[in-house]
Structure 1
Amino acid sequence: MVNTGGSVRKRVRVWDLPTRIWHWSILILFATCWWTADTDHMRWHLFAGYGVLGIVSFRILWGFCGGQTARFSSFVRGPASVWRYARKLRDRDHYESLGHNPLGALSIIVMLSLLLLQTILGLFAVNNDGGSSGPLSQWVSYTTGRRFAHWHADNFNLLLLIIGLHLTAIVFYRLVRGENLVSAMIHGYKSHRSSGETPYFVPLWRAVLLAVPILIGIVLLARI
């Protein structure tokens, strides 16, 4: 416990292991998808896409049954709350959140939605040569599959924009608000007011029970 500027603070655990694994896994898998698409390693692109679909599905479900800071109910706020937070963003003492702040919550929802959409579009996308089309492309017409392929490319550009904003926010919070978001997502702890709440967490076996059927579903999908 430390005293900073007259405010007594303590080191508090804010991110559970499944949330941290998800965060770094999505970074690795998205980079793999990007590289394999650019280098035309489409078999590995498909495997990485399955991985993205699996962990995005896990994160969405974890948002309902995980620990406090992982649950959507603990950080998703309405437009008014987001606007009030954004107006005082440079104030270090304004809205010190344990988990995601209102703007971060908005980023998470948008990113999860775009990632899920990206994988669904990829499953049905039809490429011109037909050799690297999505595994479910035979279920749609050629025209529909081509449209999905174009949307797949457009949605990727949206994801790059969101990721760029995310990285900019990380730098901003480090330089302006003095918060190291990266280290907190590595070890799971951050400095917080001693009078603040301590979040609750759920046992790891709940994450395992959630991950196993998702893994089975992805394996079955890959065998189609």
Structure 2
Amino acid sequence: MLKKIRVWDLPTRLFHWLFAIVITGAFITINLDETELHAKFGYAACILVIFRIVWGFVGPEHARFANFVPTLGQLKAFIKHPVHDKLGHNPLGALSVLGLLLVVLVQTSSGLFTDDEISFQGPLSHFVSSEIASWLTGLHEFNSNLIYALVGLHLLAIFYYQKVKKQDLIRPMLTGDKDLSSEDTNTPTALNPSKDHWGVRGLALVILVVIATGFYFLVIKK
């Protein structure tokens, strides 16, 4: 018999899909030379990354970095014996999450200072010299390749788990629940579902509003 266990809280799930949307939007708009619209997607991505970092410290158990960031020993053990007895990210999945957050944080931060000297200036470019702005513009362009690579690896991993290991990673990120067998639910970690009540969701909304408001007045509105 299968039992549903809540793994991903609603704020984490919404972050995941909104993050995918804004990254896709940023990719499409830059290739269409829609720099102003591209910047708006970049602002949204920056706000989301900051939210996820904060949520990684104050969110429910399986959203917290302390719960899924692996030690070197855990990573080596998982590579040798890829068995994971926790509800959330496995060690390699955790590295993928951290890698994406890091490169997108670098991308959005550098984008705030970019100056292509033609059609776009980042809202904070006037705070740095032209040399630094030029260097950050180059970093912004180079770092985009890392994002494409990590997104590609992320999609390949999902496909591998779906087709080879017969583990559906997409549905739990939509519904929040994993179906576990009666044997799995006997493990201590499986009996510890994520909190996903309206208090948790309200806290996430407050955090997001504070971050977005601060970002607007400190960065965009200037």
With the length of structure 1 as denominator, give the TM-score of the two structures: 0.91
Q: Return the letter of the residue paired with 1:197.
A: L
How many Å separate the matches in 1 of 2:142 and 2:28?
17
How many Å separate the matches in 1 of 2:163 and 2:136?
40
How many Å separate the matches in 1 of 2:92 and 2:129?
40
Which stretches in structure 1 are left out of the alignment for 5+ residues? 3-8
- SS of the residue corresponding to residue 194 of structure 1 reads helix
Q: Does 1:182 align with 2:176?
A: no
- Offset of residue 169 of structure 1: 0.6
Q: Return the letter of the residue paired with 1:107.
A: S
Q: Does 1:148 align with 2:136?
A: yes
- Offset of residue 87 of structure 1: 2.2
Q: Does 1:170 align with 2:170?
A: no
Q: 2:12 aligns with which of 15, 19, 33?
A: 19
Q: 1:47-62 alignment to 2 at 5 Å?
A: 47-62=40-55
Q: Does 1:78 align with 2:94?
A: no
How many Å separate the matches in 2 of 1:88 and 1:172?
17
Q: Check whether the contact 2:13–2:174 (CA below 8 A) recurs between aligned residues.
A: yes
Q: Does 1:204 align with 2:201?
A: yes
- Offset of residue 155 of structure 1: 0.6
- SS of the residue corresponding to residue 10 of structure 1 reads strand
Residue identity over aligned pairs, in percent, reads: 35
Instruction: State the match for 1:223 in structure 2.
Output: 221
Which stretches in structure 2 are left out of the alignment for 5+ residues? none
Q: Return the letter of the residue paired with 1:194.
A: T
Shifted more, 156-165 versus 208-217: the winner is: 208-217
- SS of the residue corresponding to residue 4 of structure 2 reads strand
Q: Does 1:194 align with 2:185?
A: yes
Q: Return the letter of the residue paired with 1:187.
A: T
Instruction: State the match for 2:102 in structure 1.
Output: 113
- Offset of residue 88 of structure 1: 2.5
Q: Return the letter of the residue paired with 2:221.
A: R
Instruction: State the match for 1:138 in structure 2.
Output: 126
- Offset of residue 176 of structure 1: 2.3
Instruction: State the match for 1:5 in structure 2.
Output: none
- SS of the residue corresponding to residue 11 of structure 1 reads strand
- Offset of residue 199 of structure 1: 2.1
- Offset of residue 179 of structure 1: 0.9
Q: Return the letter of the residue paired with 1:206.
A: L
Instruction: State the match for 1:45 in structure 2.
Output: 38
